[in-house]
Structure 1
Amino acid sequence: MTAITTGPAPAAGVRLRNRYLAGLLTGRGLTGIALVGTLALAGLLAPLLTDLDPNAQGPLALAGPSAEHPFGTDDMGRDLFSRVLHGIATDLAITFTAVPVGALLGCTFALLAASSRWADLGVQRAFDLLLAFPGIILALAVTAVLGPGRWPVLIVIALAEVPGFGRQLRAGILVQREREYALAARVGGASRRRVLLRHVVPNAADPLIVQTAVALSIGVFIEGAMSFLGLGVRPPDPTLGSILSQSVAYLSTDPSFAAVPLAVTTALVLGFTLIAEALNRGIRR
């Protein structure tokens, strides 16, 4: 008589992770990793790359690039190179904190939805409610209550990411719990909770890797948009969005002031997007 196996098919998970790795090793994936890695390293090493205080004002306002100020200075004479590097560090610190929080909340709601039909309906309506508010509208609502600052940005990014992670995991659970290994585990006497946590979720969670890359790009965009509108980190602390917001008044006279923070923000979003596309293409191979 053939024995019934109650464990998930480990080879499938290994093959999927190999496809992820293969996707990252394509030109698209390597370009994304290079963009994000270079900028993240620059932000992390900001204190070593420049000894200038990003908030120290100087006598030379809107000065062009020089040996002392590689990117020039802003409208208050502050070194733009130092402010951009510290802005990268601030943006990534916020994004890499808020996205995991949003992922954890979304996955928790997905697990709750898997517990019963009524819980599933409630969770889906909660996701619909969050999705009904665009990121900027959500940012206005949160800052109306808490005021501008670092914490409102973290909260907005986390809330914006909850439906994406929750729906992704919920869809994976719905598919995986009907697979043969899950059915075999139930036939073998495993409880519904054990089947869900030990067998279904580990296989359903693999696509969240792609969702994480997408979420990071969205997080950078939301932080930049909130800071641009004056809803983010309070001055004088630099962020890419706040630097770009300052430069708007000087677009006609000094377009290079806006060019650097705009280029860096674009590179970060593009890098995370390329990584997400590479991972997604790896799955489809």
Structure 2
Amino acid sequence: MTTLAAAQKAPLDSRTGKPRRPRHPYRAALATARGRTGLGLVGLVVLAGLLAPLLAGHGPTDQSALALAGPGTPGHPLGTDDLGRDLLARLLHGIRADLGIIAVAVPLGAVLGCLLALVAAVHPLADTVVQRAFDLVLAFPGLILALAVTAILGPGRVPVILVIALAEIPVFGRLLRTGILVQRGREYVTAARVGGTSGGRILTRHILPNAADPLVVQFAVSLTVAVFIEGAMSFLGVGVRPPEPTLGAVLSQAMPYLAQAPHFAAGPLVTVTALVLGLSLTAEALNREIRR
């Protein structure tokens, strides 16, 4: 379709009478009901974590004599835990800790996975080695991988980041590799080769931009997976060291008191649900728009 024909078919702006410029697919996806709802939920959780020092009236490790106080207790809107620590403060700082972990781990896994995919795209031997490395990582379930890493390094923030990054490396690597192989067979790549364009330029200027869209969707999905991995590791006691709060650690601490103080677990459960739902809706909106 020529530029003139495309402009004639484009919808007209009601104010100027000129053809509207098509919106970027990412902006269009986030403008849908799913996208707005997902961004709203994620934004609320992120804002709560960022403003934790201002919103929390107590420190996350400050203890008092009010053990297992219920919601609405003066000075403790969500109550206290079994050690008299303010649940609101621990919840907000737990969000902050989780966001810090996934904000480092997921991009790290994505970058390393994409770099390995690019290495695999250069030479068949490199491709074989990289794919076998991916198979090795994927052979370990997430829980076994977490236990293996913490058995070597011990519990803490760094092992959690490492486990999440290791789990995401083969996911992003295989996704980008598949995209590169698909785009290599397209006619525009053949035309670029015939025109004398170098292989490196074809890869960076033509193939990668067209193979990158699925990575954006996967990034949103991987953030969701990272929340679960951190929560599971902290729940099992192999995550961030106490008394530093995370959502998984607060939920694990609440389990023995579910019958006696159900409010203890309500905060982290609602927060994790909102965060995961928001990320899932955002990923679904992006995926639907990109597949159009």
TM exceeding 0.5: yes
Corresponding residue of 2:278: 271
CA deviations over 1:196-253 (Å, ceiling 9, x no partner): 1222112211221101000100011100110111111101110000000000110111
CA deviations over 1:70-90 (Å, ceiling 9, x no partner): 110000000000100000010
Q: Note the residue ranges of structure 1 that are not aligned, 5 or more in a row.
A: 1-13
SS class of match (1:237): coil
SS class of match (1:189): coil
Alignment equivalent of 1:123, drawn from 130, 145, 163? 130
Counterparts of 1:83 and 1:180 in 2: how far apart (Å)? 56
Counterpart check, 1:201 vs 2:208: yes
Counterparts of 2:165 and 2:196 in 1: how far apart (Å)? 38
* More moved, 84-93 vs 27-36: 27-36
Counterpart check, 1:32 vs 2:38: yes
List, as ranges, runs of 4+ consecutive aligned residues in structure 1 with deviation greater than 6 Å.
none
Matches within 5 A, 1:54-203: 54-66=60-72, 67-203=74-210
Counterparts of 2:201 and 2:132 in 1: how far apart (Å)? 27
Counterparts of 2:167 and 2:200 in 1: how far apart (Å)? 28
SS class of match (1:114): helix
Counterparts of 2:108 and 2:135 in 1: how far apart (Å)? 19
Corresponding residue of 2:288: 281
* Partners of 1:24 and 1:282 within 8 A in 2: no
Number of aligned pairs?
271
Corresponding residue of 2:8: none
Instruction: Measure how far apart 1:110 and its partner are.
Output: 0.5
Q: Give the structure, 1 or 2, with the largest relative contact order (CA under 8 Å, sep 6 or more).
A: 1
- One-letter amino acid matched to 1:275: T
Counterparts of 2:97 and 2:63 in 1: how far apart (Å)? 20
Counterparts of 2:140 and 2:278 in 1: how far apart (Å)? 26
Corresponding residue of 1:8: none
Instruction: Measure how far apart 1:268 and its partner are.
Output: 1.0
Corresponding residue of 2:18: none
Counterpart check, 1:45 vs 2:51: yes
Instruction: Measure how far apart 1:129 and its partner are.
Output: 1.3
RMSD value, Cα: 1.4
SS class of match (2:24): helix
SS class of match (1:39): helix
Counterparts of 2:30 and 2:153 in 1: how far apart (Å)? 40
Counterparts of 1:199 and 1:29 in 2: how far apart (Å)? 28
Using the size of structure 2 for normalisation, the TM-score is 0.90
Q: Note the residue ranges of structure 2 that are not aligned, 5 or more in a row.
A: 1-20
Counterparts of 1:199 and 1:57 in 2: how far apart (Å)? 58
Corresponding residue of 2:14: none
Alignment equivalent of 2:227, drawn from 216, 220, 228? 220
- One-letter amino acid matched to 1:270: L
* Partners of 2:57 and 2:75 within 8 A in 1: no
Counterparts of 1:56 and 1:152 in 2: how far apart (Å)? 26
* Partners of 2:71 and 2:263 within 8 A in 1: no
Corresponding residue of 2:6: none
Counterparts of 2:201 and 2:290 in 1: how far apart (Å)? 27
Instruction: Measure how far apart 1:165 and its partner are.
Output: 0.7
Instruction: Measure how far apart 1:18 and its partner are.
Output: 2.4
Instruction: Measure how far apart 1:21 and its partner are.
Output: 2.2
* Partners of 1:243 and 1:261 within 8 A in 2: yes
